[in-house]
Amino acid sequence: MLWIYGAWRIYHHVASTIVFWKRYKVTNAIRTTEQCTESVEPKSNASMGRCSIFKRIQQKNWESPICGDWLNQLEQDVRDLGANTILIAHSLSCLLVAHWAAQTTLKIAGALLVAPPDPEAQVFPKEAHGFSDFPLRPFNLISTVVASENDPYADIEFSRSCANSWGSDFINIGMAGHINAASGLNDWPQGELILENLVNKMDA
């Protein structure tokens, strides 16, 4: 599906992914007040006034995802990264975030949810277990849902309904398929702008 990393390059992968974006305040939008010491790719973004660090969660089973196992890994990584973290999720991982947000006591800065799939869709992966009955209640965090009008995994109204239930902003980017590598988005500058707007909303 897709992995958003560093300069928003999009890659194919066997399963949906989730990325942590840890924000560091900067001085004069050039140098960080903290060192970017994680073993992941830092991205200096003067427009957002931060040194951004993207870290991809490493799930143990991508071929046959089990929601409980993915939840445990997500909880552990969020606990390690702390409250100044933004989750960026694609496809199945959007449902994972919904499950996690309904039960965690941890706090994060926000979430960007891209192309949530409809478990009732015929193409929903049968190998995925435990994701379907996902909570439809407001998140205790700022979030944005991004969806496409011709996503084979979800009707646009399904995505809009999820956003409304989760208390998320909703963005329809038009005809963009499953918003993955096959969509031809390349570095997806629109996605970076959506993330920047989300960050600005959190800082307001």
- pLDDT, tens only, 83-118: 888 889 999 999 999 999 999 999 998 999 999 999
Instruction: Please state the pTM of the whole predicted model.
Output: 0.79
Biggest alpha carbon distance in the chain? 51
Mean pLDDT of the chain: 77
Evaluate whether residue 193 is within a structural domain: yes
Q: Which residue has the higher pLDDT, 12 or 16?
A: 16
Evaluate whether residue 174 is within a structural domain: yes
Residue 185 pLDDT exceeds 60: yes
Evaluate whether residue 158 is within a structural domain: yes
Q: In sequence order, what are the beta bridge partners of 86?
A: 21, 110
Evaluate whether residue 56 is within a structural domain: yes
Evaluate whether residue 111 is within a structural domain: yes
Evaluate whether residue 4 is within a structural domain: no
Show the domain range for 185: 11-203
Q: Which residue has the higher pLDDT, 18 or 125?
A: 125
pLDDT band of residue 127 (cuts 50, 70, 90) is very high
As a whole number of angstroms, the distance between CA 180 and CA 178 comes to 5
Evaluate whether residue 185 is within a structural domain: yes
The domain that contains 127 carries what CATH number?
A: 3.40.50.1820
Percent of the chain that is helix, strand, coil (3-state, to 5): 25, 25, 45
State residue 19's pLDDT score: 56
As a whole number of angstroms, the distance between CA 33 and CA 52 comes to 12
Evaluate whether residue 5 is within a structural domain: no
- pLDDT, tens only, 138-164: 999 999 999 999 999 999 999 999 999
The total number of structural domains in the chain stands at: 1
